[in-house]
Structures are given as C-alpha cells and as structure tokens.
C-alpha cells in the first residue's frame, strides 16, 4: 500500500486510537494498530477486546492495502514529526513512513491477524446532539463501579423510554439516575424485542472523549452481535454489551422525604473540600447537620457552614467524603435540592430546575 496524508491530521486522531490499545503483552497483535488504505481514505483501528475504535482519515491513496504497526512506536514517531505531509508505504512485510527529511521503518504483523471490530452496525437507536448527551452522561457514569468483578454494576443501565432513555449507574453505595429526553433535533428509534441493556461504563466514558467536529452522535445496537456502536463524524467506538441482571434500582429510590435543603453546588463543594482535608483521618466521614437556614458540614471538630433554605425538621446525616466530592463535582446544575428522611436512609441530591435527574448516596451510620 502507499498513502499520503497530513501528519497533523493523523496526530490528532492517534491520541484517541490509543485509548483502545491493549496494555496486555500477551496478545502481540493487540499492541498493534491496523492501517487500511482504501479509496481516498486511511482507516485506523485498535482494540483491547473490551472496546474497539476505528477512525477514517482523508488521504491520497496511490495503492490500496493494509498492514499493522506497533501502536506505541508509531504514535511516538508521528507525534515527533514536523507538520508536513507524510507517506506510508508497505509491501506487506515492512512499513515505511517518509516525510521530506525523515524515513522510518517499522516491524509489522500481517493485517489478517488483526481481529475484525464489527460486522454490522446494527439498528440505529438514536441520533443525539453530542454536547447534550455528553453533559448528561457525565452526571451518571461516575457512579458506576470500576470493579469488573461485579459485571452488572460496572455498566450503565439503559432503558428505552417514550422519547428518550433512562440511564442508571450504581456501585452499590451511590446511584445516579437520569431520564434523558430527546432535544428538537434528536431522533429516537425504539428497539424491537429488547428495551433495555447494560453498556459498560468504560464505553460511555470513552464516548465522552471522542473528539469530532460533527455535532451529532449516532448510537447503533446489534443484539445478535451483542454490541453497541457510537459513531460521531469519522470516529466509531465499538463495545460489547454486558449480559447480567441489573439490581432492582427502583425499590431503593425514596418516594418521600421529611426535610429538603436547597443550596448552591459550588459553595457546598468548597465546604466539603475543606472538611475532606480533616476527614482523611476519620475514615472520610463528613457530617451534614441540617439546621434553620444553614447546613453545617463537619469532619470531627472542623466545621463549615453553608447557607441553605431548609423545609422540614432539623436532621443529621453522614457520608463518605469521596462520594460527596464525586457527586458535587458532577451534578449537572448549580441549584441543588437535598432530600432526606433520617440518618440511616439514602440522601438524595436533585437538580432544582430539572426533575429528570437524581443522585443518591448511602449514608454512614455514626453513633452518638
């Protein structure tokens, strides 16, 4: 193969391609990325078996063909090259990268060894404004467990709704829930047969990292191949779906509350940050004391007062500082309502202007 393209463009895309390069040494082919030259384009692919990424670049193709090159050295080289046009040539064994003044030769592996990332895109589930989706996803995905030993919790539960999705993520200590509804330009198609699935949280996190100028992101699902595809512009992200039972999240969402406190997210985040310094020594326990017109945030003897409008009886509850910091950094609005019934029941954070979102945290029981 022989293909010429702008080094700068390749450089921009390689960063994301590397997200799916395996760091496991055992399967050498997965340490490589696949380069395919077709008519007027170069297709780059990588996979670590969990997810796969495929990006198309415009290029001048003199001779079609495909080859795999070691991801690490290839990226390092491309990043070091001057902004210039470069030529990639391969005779099927070696791969040569040339610019005006440089020439580099790579050891390669046959493109036939590289696994196919997907066979079909599947059914188009939705075309959504990428900005909107990413903003909402951020407020949900962080709650998922990073422990892959608990498959169902390491994913985000996605259920189709009338005009959008329900997204739920939990790690067993906290839970985020969002009813994502379509904007005016968004399109939704209902899947036949199955209306819910668990998508690995990692796939969503990577989807958030896609850098494309196109404003729409397309979601495809293929149930026969057990896969979901995010496609934005010329970037495709493939992930498998998780086949497991998602815990019954509905039963743990409190239907009632005895006190509600409204506060400003930024101000509360600052208060929790201060207390978390001292909370480190006491198992990260941070206490909220809901009092008239304020919430007293405390870690041991260290207190910060946060102005708040309280409706209902005074009460106290304690949380792990890490979960509080995560939540307050990711809540999608600045006006927050905090609802609780007692020190033993989950505390619920809601966005004041939007009823479609909630985040809840299991409290820590502290004895007086």
Partner 1 sequence: MNDQLDITWQQVLKDLKKTVSTANFFTLFANTGLLSLADNIATIATPSTVVRDLLYKRFYKDVKSALDTQTKQDNELLFIVQALQQNSTLKEKSGPLFSADQPVRATHDKETSPVLKTDIKSSQPSMVGHLPRVRKEYNFSTFAVSSTNQLAFVSSQNVAQNPGQSYNPFFIYGPVGVGKTHLLHAIANHIYTQNPDRKIIYITSEEFTNEVVEAIKNNETSRMKRRFRTAALLLIDDIQFIEGKDRVQEELFHTFNILIDQGSQIVLSSDRPPQEIKKLEKRLSSRFAGGLTVDIEAPDFELKTAILLKKAEKYGWELSINVAKLLANGAQDTRSLEGLLLRAITVATSLQTDITEEIAMKALGRAAEEKRGSLHADDIIKEVCNFYSIKPTQLKGPKRDASLVRARQITMYMLKEELKLTLVEIGNILGGRDHTTVMHGVDKIEHQLGGDVHISQDISGIKQLLHV
Note whether 241 binds partner 1 by CB under 8 A.
Answer: yes
The DSSP secondary structure of 101-169, one letter per residue, reads S-EEEE--B-GGGSPP--S---EEEEEEEHHHHHHHHHHHHTTS---TTSGGGGEEEEEEETTEEEEEE
Note whether 172 binds partner 1 by CB under 8 A.
Answer: yes
Among positive and negative, which fits the CA dihedral 223, 227, 228, 230? negative
Tokens at residue 179, please?
A: 């009813």
Residues in the chain: 368
Cα(93)–Cα(96) distance, integer angstroms: 10
Interface of this chain with partner 1, residues 22 to 41, rule: CB under 8 A: 24-27, 29
Cα(143)–Cα(138) distance, integer angstroms: 10
Instruction: Give min distance, CB of 234 to partner 1, in A.
Output: 20
Note whether 364 binds partner 1 by CB under 8 A.
Answer: yes
x/- mask, partner 1, residues 270-309, rule CB under 8 A, reads -----------xxxxx--------------x---------
Q: Near partner 1 by CB under 8 A, which window of 47-55, 188-196, 256-264, 302-310? A: 47-55
Specify the residue, 5 or 297, whose C-beta has the smaller distance to partner 1. Answer: 297
Alpha helix (H) residue ranges in the chain: 7-17, 71-80, 130-141, 201-208, 265-279, 321-330
Using CB under 8 A as the binding criterion, the count of chain residues that bind partner 1 stands at: 61
Pairing of strands 302-307, 309-312: unpaired
Pick one of 91, 113, 266, 353: the residue that binds partner 1 (CB under 8 A).
113
Question: Quick one: which of 92, 97, 51 has its CA closest to 68?
Answer: 92
Residues 6+ apart with CB under 8 A from 122: 220, 221, 222, 223, 224, 225, 227, 228, 229
Note whether 231 binds partner 1 by CB under 8 A.
Answer: no
Cα(325)–Cα(272) distance, integer angstroms: 7
Note whether 225 binds partner 1 by CB under 8 A.
Answer: yes
Instruction: Give min distance, CB of 309 to partner 1, in A.
Output: 26
Note whether 173 binds partner 1 by CB under 8 A.
Answer: yes
Q: Near partner 1 by CB under 8 A, which window of 4-12, 85-93, 213-221, 356-364? A: 356-364
x/- mask, partner 1, residues 123-162, rule CB under 8 A, reads --------------------------xxxxx---------
Specify the residue, 277 or 366, whose C-beta has the smaller distance to partner 1. Answer: 366
Q: Near partner 1 by CB under 8 A, which window of 68-76, 108-116, 134-142, 186-194? A: 108-116
């Amino acid at each position: 193969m022989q293909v010429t393209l702008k080094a700068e463009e390749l450089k921009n895309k390689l960063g994301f391609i590397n997200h799916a390069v395996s760091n496991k040494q055992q399967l050498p082919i997965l340490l490589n990325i696949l380069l395919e030259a077709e008519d007027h384009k170069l297709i780059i692919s990588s996979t670590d078996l969990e997810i796969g990424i495929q990006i198309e670049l415009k290029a001048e193709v003199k001779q079609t063909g495909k080859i795999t090159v070691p991801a690490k050295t290839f990226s390092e080289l491309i990043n070091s090259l001057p902004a210039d046009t470069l030529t990639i040539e391969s005779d099927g064994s070696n791969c040569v990268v040339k610019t005006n003044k440089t020439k580099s030769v790579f050891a390669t592996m046959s493109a036939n060894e590289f696994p196919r990332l997907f066979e079909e895109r599947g059914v188009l589930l939705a075309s959504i404004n990428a900005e909107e989706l990413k903003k909402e996803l951020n407020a949900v995905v962080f709650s998922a467990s990073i422990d892959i030993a608990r498959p169902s919790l390491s994913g985000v539960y996605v259920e189709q709704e009338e005009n959008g999705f329900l997204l739920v993520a939990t790690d067993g200590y906290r839970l985020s829930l969002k009813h994502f509804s379509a904007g005016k330009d968004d399109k939704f198609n209902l899947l036949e047969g199955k209306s819910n699935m668990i998508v690995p949280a990692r796939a969503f996190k990577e989807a958030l990292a896609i850098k494309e100028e196109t404003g729409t992101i397309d979601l495809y699902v293929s149930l026969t191949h057990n896969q979901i595809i995010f496609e934005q512009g010329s970037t495709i992200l493939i992930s498998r779906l998780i086949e497991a039972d998602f815990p019954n999240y509905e039963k743990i969402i409190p239907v009632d509350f005895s006190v509600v406190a409204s506060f400003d997210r930024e101000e509360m985040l600052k208060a929790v940050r201060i207390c978390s310094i001292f909370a480190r020594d006491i198992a990260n326990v941070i206490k909220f004391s809901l009092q008239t017109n304020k919430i007293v945030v405390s870690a041991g003897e260290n207190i910060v007062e946060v102005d708040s409008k309280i409706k209902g009886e005074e009460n106290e509850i304690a949380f792990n500082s890490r979960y509080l910091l995560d939540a307050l950094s990711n809540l999608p609005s600045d006006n927050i309502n905090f609802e609780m019934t007692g020190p033993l029941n989950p505390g619920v954070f809601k966005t004041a202007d939007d009823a479609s979102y909630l985040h809840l945290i299991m409290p820590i029981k502290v004895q007086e």
